[in-house]
Amino acid sequence: FNAEKRQYVKDTDILHKGQTIKNKTIRNAEYKGNTCVFNADDTSKIVYILKNYEDIKELLAWFNKQKNVVEPQNLKINRNRLNGAVKITTVRLYINVWEKFKSFMKQYQEYKSKDLVTMALLEFMDKYKK
């Protein structure tokens, strides 16, 4: 702040080596011009990022595409887990889910619907078990 002008001015306008400001001389030891705000580690990291910019850009593009993509897996029915007596029960489902499950079952006609439902429930319980 320049009191005479009653305004802020750039440092370069009022601070120069050897200049006296209000009876104080800026000595060479006190004067720091163009101070670097990065240390050597930061600089090497930034240089590395700049050198690998295109690869990083490709990697991020691939990653962003993968966020919403679920890789289909091969269906594995573990016959060892499908044992015991069969229980006949009624389950209430949302119609849109049931329609999707029916079309899913058509893709795997080699399995019985009870086997597919049982495996789906077992895998769900295993995944979210507390």
Task: Show the beta-strand stretches assigned E in the chain.
Answer: 20-21, 24-25
* Overall number of domains in the chain: 3
The answer to whether the beta carbons of residues 52 and 45 sit under 8 Å apart is no
Shared domain check, 43 and 13 = no
The span from the first CA to the last CA of the chain, in angstroms, equals 64
* Mean pLDDT (10-residue bins), the chain, 130 residues: 76 50 54 64 85 93 78 80 89 94 92 91 90
How far apart CA 49 and CA 103 sit, in angstroms, is: 48
The answer to whether the beta carbons of residues 117 and 88 sit under 8 Å apart is no
- The confidence score (pLDDT) of residue 13 equals 44
Question: Which DSSP letter does residue 2 get?
Answer: B
Q: Is residue 74 part of a domain?
A: no
Instruction: State which of 69, 87, 115 marks the end of a domain.
Output: 69
- pTM here? 0.45
Shared domain check, 31 and 52 = no
Q: Is residue 90 part of a domain?
A: yes
Query: Domain containing 103: what range?
Result: 79-127
Distance of CA 123 to the CA centre of its chain: 27
Q: Is residue 110 part of a domain?
A: yes
Q: Which two tokens stand for residue 3?
A: 């009191």
Shared domain check, 58 and 87 = no
Shared domain check, 85 and 65 = no
Shared domain check, 28 and 43 = no
Q: Is residue 105 part of a domain?
A: yes
